[in-house]
Amino acid sequence: MKLKIETFMQEVRARNSHEPEFLQAVQEVAETVIPYIASKEIYNGKNILLRMVEPERAISFRVPWINDSGEICVNRGYRIQMNSAIGPYKGGLRFHPSVNMSILKFLAFEQVFKNSLTTLPMGGGKGGADFDPKGKSDGEIMRFCHSFMGELCRHIGPNTDVPAGDIGVGSREIGFLFGMYRKIRNEFTGVLTGKGLSWGGSVIRPEATGYGTVYFASNMLATKKDTIKGKIISISGSGNVAQYAAEKANQLGAKVVTLSDSSGFIYDSDGIDSDKLAFVMKLKNEERGRIDAYIKAYPNATFHANETPWNIPCDIALPCATQNELDDVAAENLLKNGCICVCEGANMPTTPKAIALFHKAEILFAPGKASNAGGVATSGLEMTQNSLRYHWSRKEVDEKLQEIMENIHSACITYGTNENGYVDYVKGANIAGFVKVADAMIAQGVV
Ligand code: NDP
């Protein structure tokens, strides 16, 4: 089996040699899915995984825009349309200086499995630009978004490809993007998700990724007859996912003690309660400030520059910032301090070595493609409401979100339970996500 996986990876490496994040995501899937493929006659001779690692389409385009000083700037925009076997491409847009083909292909590849896991009819895609929104004025952000959509609008549509937000793309950016799409195409359709409530958005969409991650952690703890209540939780990031993971954790009676951004993390041993979280939300979403401002408002807390929060003792860790932010050293610290559950809110935040340590220690570990799927699932619910031209209530959407997270958890148990009873959620999520897409591709022939 090792040889089969290595032969497959050699071919993928030869084609994508300068794409480390993409290769990392593919390797993780290959290790768990290739043994499954080998055990099923239906996949014999179909080269199905090799077809899945090749994007159906990868678009790269120029995004020229004018800054507040009147200078002409140029960024590079992308959309990776990875797989549409089970529905229109769906996945977020990321605006961050680190954005490149490798990062977007890893995200698009993971998105295919994640969207399949939600059981909703959505294919996988991802896009964005190497644009840094930090320090830009609202006018600059608007001009950039308008220029970006000037090209992207040719490639997307409510039945073709439906982007959403991701790092650096929140409700403000979705508004500017939607406005330009509507103007150019002269149509009001559900072409983006994460829209404002008065123009086609769904309740709970902003909260969904963070809430869903905590619902998933609750499902994992339930397998040990345990709950979130009373647990100490360490969260990284302080953006959309981190904020609402913290909110739901507080609601369920846990104590959140850390948040971070790319400058470092804050530790508040008294807990980041709802009032303190409201302060963080205002700081991050309205004032667009840095996380160290927290310790000026709450002097009992401490700020740790250029560090991640994983050396702080906690029961549960929720990495909610970015890829590869939790490495093997961090994993050792978490395990040493008694952490029992790591549930990814971000995409691929845990390095392969760190995952191996969690698996060896047999603690609960959930990969983002399962545990953060609540965001895209609720985007799927937004698409349904747009098609129906109808709005569901907060209670209805939240119930559907909880049900979807429970179903994803059950699918992971079905495909991921090892002989000794330990649940390998990575294996479970990869195989469960794979089956639906692979079967659809086989039914549709070699296209
Ligand atoms: P936001 O832009 O709202 O927040 C991102 C947070 O992560 C910020 O606090 C940011 O700090 C921090 N961060 C970003 N890059 C780095 C870095 N290189 N090192 C340290 N910290 C960093 O993004 P989201 O909350 O939407 O996304 C967070 C993660 O969740 C991403 O991995 C994303 O792909 C994933 N995700 C998001 C979904 C969504 O619905 N939004 C859905 C599913 C997954 P700073 O401000 O300093 O950059």
Quick one: which atom of ligand 1 is closest to the CA of 243? 25
Q: In which band, very low, low, confident or very high, does the pLDDT at 43 lie, cut at 50, 70 and 90? A: very high
Q: What are the pLDDT digits (tens) for 126-178?
A: 999 999 999 999 999 999 999 999 999 999 999 999 999 999 999 999 999 99
Residues 6+ apart with CB under 8 A from 166: 92, 93, 94, 107, 126, 128
| 136 in active site | no
All CATH 3.40.50.10860 domain ranges of the chain, comma separated, are: 57-199
CATH of span 208-371: 3.40.50.720
Tell me the pLDDT tens digit for each residue of 51-63.
999 999 999 999 9
Tell me the pLDDT band of 67, cut-offs 50, 70 and 90.
very high
- CATH 3.40.50.720-classified regions of the chain: 208-371
Is any atom of ligand 1 closer than 6 Å to the C-beta of 416? no
Residue 109's CB: how many other CB atoms inside 10 A?
25
What's the CA-to-centroid distance between 372 and ligand 1, angstroms?
A: 12
Q: Choose the residue to mutate in 122, 167, 169, 243 for probing ligand 1, maximizing ligand atoms within 8 Å of C-beta.
A: 167
375 lines ligand 1 (CB under 6 A): yes
pLDDT band (50, 70, 90) for residue 290: very high
Could you tell me the two tokens for 101? 């083909």
Average pLDDT, integer, range 439-443: 97
User: Which residue among 107, 162, 241, 308 has the greatest number of ligand 1 atoms within 8 angstroms of its CB, and so is best to mutate?
Assistant: 241
How confident is the model at residue 3, as a pLDDT? 95
Does ligand 1 lie within 6 Å of residue 367's CB atom? no
Task: Give the residue-averaged pLDDT of 261-284.
Answer: 98
At 23-36, the pLDDT tens digits run 999 999 999 999 99
CB 333 within 8 A of CB 291: no
pLDDT of residue 244: 98
Decide: residue 171, CB within 10 A, 0-12 exposed, 13-18 middle, 19+ buried: middle
Q: Which residues pair with 63 in a beta bridge?
A: 75
Share of the chain above pLDDT 70, in %: 100
pLDDT band at 249 (very low <50, low <70, confident <90, very high): very high
Ligand 1, atom 44: closest residue by C-alpha? 346
What pTM, to 2 d.p., does this model score? Answer: 0.96
Question: What per-residue confidence (pLDDT) applies to 421?
Answer: 97
Ligand 1 atom nearest to 284, measured from its CA: 46
* pLDDT at site 364: 98
**Catalytic pick from 90, 105, 114, 126?**
126
> What are the beta bridge partners of residue 256?
233
pLDDT attached to residue 303? 98
Tens digit of each residue's pLDDT (9 = 90 or more) over 331-370: 999 999 999 999 999 999 999 999 999 999 999 999 999 9
CATH of 57-199, one of 3.40.50.10860, 3.20.20.140, 3.40.50.150, 1.20.1250.20: 3.40.50.10860
Q: Is the CB of 372 under 6 A from ligand 1?
A: yes
Give DSSP secondary structure letters for 290-349.
-TTHHHHH-TTSEEEET--GGGS--SEEEE-S-TT-B-HHHHHHHHHTT--EEE-SSSS-
Would you state the pLDDT for residue 380?
Answer: 97
Q: Which atom of ligand 1 is nearest to the CA of 348?
A: 32
Element (H, E) at 277: helix 274-281
